[in-house]
Amino acid sequence: MGNPPGEVTLLLAEMKLGHKDALSKLIPLVYKELRRLAGHCLRAERMGHTLQPTALVHEAFLRLVGQDRADWQNHAQFLGVAAQIMRRILVDYARRRHAFKRAGEAVTLDEERFELDAGAWRSEEILAVHEALVRLADLDPQQAGLVEMRYFGGLSLQEAAEALGISERTAMRDWAMAKVWLRGQLGPAKSP
C-alpha cells in the first residue's frame, strides 16, 4: 500500500472533525493509490478511450471527500469505498457509451482475466459483472463486496479482507465461492 495506513487513518479522522488542512495532507498520500486503482480499472481498454485514469481518480476523490457522513475507520476501508465509487463511475460510463447498442448480447467472462487482470474489460462485461454483483449482493453482501473490491478496485485479497473486516481465510473462501457463482451467472469463460 505504500503509505503508512495509520497516517491516512489519522488524516481521515481529522477531516471528519472538520480540520481543513487534513485534506491537503491526505491528497498526496492517497493519490498514487487511487491512481493505481484507476489504472487497474482502465488497463487494456480500447485505444482512444475517453475516460482516463486521472479523470477517474479526480471524480472518485471528489465523491470520497464529499461524503459528509463518512465515518472512515481505516485506510483499507477508504480504499474499499474508492473501489465502490470507481465501479459506479465505470458502470455509468459504460451505460452511456453503449446506450445505442441492442440489449441482450451474450457476455462471457474471461476467468483468467477476472483472476489476474480485471482491468482488461469491454464495457459490456463491466455492465454484466455489475448486474451480476447486484444479484450476488442480495444473496451474500460480503461476497459481493469482496468481488467489487478485487474486480473493480484491484485490491489484493488481503487488502479487501482488511477493508471488509474479515479474516484472509474467510476472504479466500468467499472469493472462491463468488467466482463459481459468477461463472454460473455470466456463462463459460472464453478460451485465452
10-49 per-position pLDDT tens digit: 888 887 787 878 878 888 888 888 888 777 767 645 444 5
Q: Is residue 38 included in any domain, yes or no?
A: yes
Question: Which H or E run includes 14?
Answer: helix 5-16
Is the predicted pLDDT of residue 168 greater than 80, yes or no?
yes
Rounded Cα gap, residues 100 and 97, in angstroms: 8
Domain assignment present for residue 177? The answer is: yes
pLDDT tens digits along 44-70:
454 445 667 777 888 887 787 776 666
**Burial track 94-118 (b if 16+ CB lie within 10 A, e otherwise):** beebbeeeeeeeebebbbebbeeeb
Question: Does residue 5 register a pLDDT over 80?
Answer: no
Query: What does the block give as the cell for 166?
Result: 474479515
Q: How many domains is the chain built from?
A: 1
Closest CA relative to residue 146, chosen from 91, 41, 53, 76: 76
Helix (H), strand (E) at residue 29: helix 20-42
pLDDT of res. 53: 75
Neighbouring CB atoms inside 10 A of 146's CB total: 27
Instruction: Please indicate, yes or no, whether the overall pTM of this predicted structure exceeds 0.85.
Output: no
pLDDT class of 102 with cuts at 50, 70, 90: very low
**Domain for residue 37, yes or no?**
yes
- The answer to whether residue 192 sits within a structural domain is no
Radius of gyration of the chain (CA): 17
H runs (alpha helix) in 43-187: 53-65, 75-97, 111-116, 123-139, 141-147, 157-164, 168-186
Is residue 129 in some structural domain?
A: yes
Q: In the prediction, which pLDDT does 50 show?
A: 60
Q: Which residue type is seen at 32?
A: K
pLDDT tens figures, 116-166? 334 445 667 778 888 899 999 999 999 999 988 888 777 889 988 988 899
Burial 29-39 (b: 16+ CB within 10 A, else e): bbeebbebbbb
How many C-beta neighbours within 10 Å does residue 167 have?
A: 11
Is residue 126 in a domain?
A: yes
> Does residue 115 have a pLDDT over 60?
no
- What is the domain extent for residue 166? 5-186
